[in-house]
């Protein structure tokens, strides 16, 4: 998919009390683990309406050598749960917890092709004589994606070919929709996201305005290309001039289209560019 992005998974917090390599070395059996557990985000929004499915890939590493034959990799969906903790008012120790499953859990056969479907099991493999693989996950363009972002938490499962590698490298989340989404380089509203330094705060209103003005799919591929060829500063100048012209147009003011706002609410803040 053109605009797959990756973002940090807020549901995973790894605490380590000692300084050591994040991955251990195994030599007993062949094992498999994910090379990246950060959340991947995808959207159908830039695809033609005739596109009803697309594929994202999970990067897999193996441990224990290669084989002269293909080896299947097994995945399963697992729930995502957030916890609320109750603490003792005196000692501040946790005395109880309540788990709540996150909403918009992807449904097999509706939002993605089930991992047990024979049509996909044959391509979920580490190829012969290879130690890494990109395992496909086929997403389905259900109508519900137009209004909500769905979540698919994926976990590696041991099989007759592979045991499991590091515990911290066995799961990740895919989020996907059919509407505008943040892309990798604009994932946060701070300096940790390079696109923020050029465009400031993200909003769907700003994202759509950029698409309308520049007549391009504003996604990770676009950003990387613009960054590589040095055109980001020019794009910012074009966007600032276009925004000023749009917001000062009497017709846009009379119709309520101006100023351009962060979202559809008439009380949301007006967008700006640095």
How far is the C-alpha of 63 from the C-alpha of 75, rounded, in Å? 17
Q: Is residue 24 part of a domain?
A: yes
Q: How many Cα atoms occupy the beta-carbon half-sphere of 81 within 13 Å?
A: 9
Q: What is residue 112's predicted lDDT score, i.e. its pLDDT?
A: 98
Q: What is residue 5's predicted lDDT score, i.e. its pLDDT?
A: 43
Using an 8 Å Cβ cutoff, are 87 and 93 in contact? yes
How far is the C-alpha of 213 from the C-alpha of 113, rounded, in Å? 36
Residues 52 and 86 in one domain: yes
Q: Is residue 268 part of a domain?
A: no
Tokens read off for 24: 């251990």
Residues 203 and 112 in one domain: no
Q: What is residue 63's predicted lDDT score, i.e. its pLDDT?
A: 94
Residue 99 CB partners (closer than 8 Å, separation 6+):
81, 82, 83
Phi and psi (nearest 5°) for 264? -70, -15
Q: What is residue 88's predicted lDDT score, i.e. its pLDDT?
A: 83
**How many domains is the chain partitioned into structurally?**
2
Residues 161 and 203 in one domain: no
Using an 8 Å Cβ cutoff, are 161 and 71 in contact? yes
Q: What is residue 26's predicted lDDT score, i.e. its pLDDT?
A: 54
Residues 212 and 101 in one domain: no
Domain that holds residue 216: 184-255
Q: Is residue 269 part of a domain?
A: no
Residues 210 and 99 in one domain: no
Residues 109 and 66 in one domain: yes
CATH code (residue 28): 2.60.40.2030
Using an 8 Å Cβ cutoff, are 274 and 201 in contact? no
User: What's the pTM value of the predicted model, to 2 decimals?
Assistant: 0.77
Q: What is residue 95's predicted lDDT score, i.e. its pLDDT?
A: 87
Residues 165 and 188 in one domain: no
Q: Of 177, 192, 208, which marks where a domain is finished? A: 177
* Closest to 112 measured CA to CA, from 134, 149, 139, 91: 139
Q: Is residue 139 part of a domain?
A: yes
The segments of the chain whose pLDDT lies below 50 read 2-23
Q: Is residue 170 part of a domain?
A: yes
Residues 154 and 234 in one domain: no
Residues 132 and 93 in one domain: yes
Q: Is residue 67 part of a domain?
A: yes
């Amino acid at each position: 998919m053109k605009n797959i992005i990756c973002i940090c998974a807020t549901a995973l917090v790894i605490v380590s009390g000692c300084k050591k390599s994040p991955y251990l070395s195994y030599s007993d059996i062949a094992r498999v683990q994910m090379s990246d557990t950060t959340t991947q985000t995808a959207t159908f929004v830039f695809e033609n309406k005739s596109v009803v499915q697309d594929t994202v890939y999970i990067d897999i590493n193996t441990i224990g050598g290669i084989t002269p034959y293909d080896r299947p990799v097994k995945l399963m969906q697992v729930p995502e749960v957030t916890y609320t903790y109750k603490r003792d008012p005196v000692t501040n120790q946790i005395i109880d917890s309540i788990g709540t499953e996150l909403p918009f859990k992807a449904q097999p056969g509706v939002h993605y092709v089930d991992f047990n479907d024979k049509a996909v099991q044959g391509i979920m493999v580490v190829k012969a004589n290879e130690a890494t693989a990109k395992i496909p996950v086929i997403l389905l363009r259900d109508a519900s994606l137009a209004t909500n972002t769905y979540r698919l938490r994926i976990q590696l499962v041991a099989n007759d070919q592979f045991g499991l590698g590091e515990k911290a490298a066995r799961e990740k989340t895919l989020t996907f929709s059919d509407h505008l989404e943040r892309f990798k380089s604009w994932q946060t509203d701070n300096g940790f996201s390079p696109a923020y330094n050029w465009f400031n705060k993200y909003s769907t209103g700003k994202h759509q305005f950029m698409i309308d003005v520049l007549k391009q799919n504003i996604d990770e591929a676009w950003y990387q290309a613009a960054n590589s060829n040095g055109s980001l500063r020019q794009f910012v100048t074009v966007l600032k001039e276009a925004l000023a012209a749009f917001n000062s147009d009497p017709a846009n003011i009379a119709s309520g289209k101006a100023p351009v706002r962060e979202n559809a609410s008439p009380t949301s803040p007006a967008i700006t560019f640095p």
